[in-house]
Amino acid sequence: MAEASHAMIEEPIVICICGMAGSGKSTVAKRLAEKYRLKYYSGGDALKALAVEEGYKPVERGWWESKEGMRFLEKRDKDPKFDRVVDEKLLELAQQGNVVLDSRTMPWLLEKGFKIWLDASLEKRAKRIGKRDSMSVKEALQALRSKEEKTKNIYKQLYVFKLGEDFAPFHLILDTNHLNAEEVFQTLCFVINNMVFNSSKPLKIVNKI
């Protein structure tokens, strides 16, 4: 299928990709941005950049599961200013349009946009992160449990919603437990081609694919 162009659509496109760590959201969000010639912005990358400015040491892989990432997460839990700064910036970028947002907050904070949740079990995500970051599955599980408890608390305090439990904003929920990265990408391309670029109003998918 030919690449979609902005000339095919009447208004700027905003696609939000959301999911817990290990769901594959960042990987597929970058690929979608490249395919559809959209800008890509990551809330996680923006938060990490703020952490580095605060003096936290950068780690090339698995930063959020590292000791530095967990230390910064604890600071965010006590002071929401970092999350507010990043979310305000993402909202500005969404207003400009033609963007893929890799974010855990934008689906709830934005009224517009096509919103996708990538679902996967904790065990599956731990296996993926363990492989990615050269950790044992046990270590990955411990890191995920600790990180996700704090992350959920941050967003509940800031914005009320329950991350990983509240799926009301989403147009599509895709179960990635038995899909590889290429299969996730191809599935999302099919949906986006038909529900974003070839439809004036996105349809709501209630059930998981």
Q: Is the pLDDT of residue 9 over 50?
A: no
DSSP 63-90: GGGSHHHHHHHHHHHH-THHHHHHHHHH
Confidence of residue 10 (pLDDT cuts 50, 70, 90): low
User: Looking up tokens 């395919």, which residue turns up?
Assistant: 35
Prediction pTM value = 0.87
Give the span between the Cα atoms of 132 and 62, in whole angstroms.
8
For the stretch 75-124, pLDDT in tens is 999 999 999 999 999 999 999 999 999 999 999 999 999 999 999 999 99
pLDDT at 61: 76
Instruction: Please compute the mean of the pLDDT values over residues 157-175 and round it to a whole number.
Output: 95
What is 11-197's CATH number, 3.40.50.2000, 3.40.190.10, 3.40.50.300, 3.40.50.2300? 3.40.50.300
Average pLDDT, the chain: 89
For the stretch 31-50, pLDDT in tens is 999 999 999 999 999 999 99
pLDDT at 62: 81
Q: Is the pLDDT of residue 151 over 50?
A: yes
Instruction: Please compute the mean of the pLDDT values over residues 141-155 and round it to a whole number.
Output: 92
Q: Is the pLDDT of residue 190 over 70?
A: yes
Q: Is the pLDDT of residue 28 over 50?
A: yes
pLDDT at 1: 40
Domain boundaries, the chain: 11-197
Give the span between the Cα atoms of 18 and 8, in whole angstroms.
25
